[in-house]
Structure 1
């Protein structure tokens, strides 16, 4: 049964937390980000979330995933990765994943979420901006694109959102 996600109602999507450790099975789309995070912080500070479609076979891979590093104290968090599987992109799943994730973090007592985004990733930059994230200095994110090597210094920005 390989049904299209487009034909499935959004109520069949579920955000699940899975174990975060090197070699963990399941969230393959987060392997690289998880490996990097675990080289910098303990697994106890990492949380992996996957968006699964309950209408699909149980052994199907997640349609999207996120990696969160919980700060100390737990009131702040760093969103380290937000990924939608290639065959499922362009269907609003990134927005759904981010919305469900922010709701989950708010319920866990997180008050501030940070994300380091590259200007070369306009899709993520736009998604976060439309979801209430602002530049770290608290100014609204400008919707713009920089082209050319002269702007290399502006290639990365920290975006934050209070919950």
Structure 2
């Protein structure tokens, strides 16, 4: 049976949308997941399932999470190979940036529209850079994520629904599960 890695979006933020790791694991098992593992409270899940495509895994997980929580939990599903490849690319980009740069990787369900990518790349923000490849946008910021003009831009939002992780989290997930 194939392994998958799921990244849950917009959970454990503030007083609402709580989804503890133990509950995530139980709901993942209810969706047919086996050998379920979680990593930190941002919604990183490894599972084995008889389902044969990331899209089918996503549908099963989102239905199970909705049934468990009572709210939608957008879920992005990748194979371990895909996570390893996007992490390796992210580390390459990080190594080419200045010391102290923060590096975030936004993961998407599908590759963003080329026109949306072009509009985003047309923005020039000092100390901020983005590279969009496949289902990932690699954003390197000299400052803080909360004050990033690039991440707050409507052109970034136009890439589509995604969830962000630091390159450090992705590296750890790759070491543990890939």
- Pairwise TM-score range, normalised by the shorter structure: under 0.3
More helix by proportion, 1 or 2?
2
TM-score by length of 2: 0.25
Higher relative contact order (CA 8 A, sep 6+): 2
TM-score by length of 1: 0.26
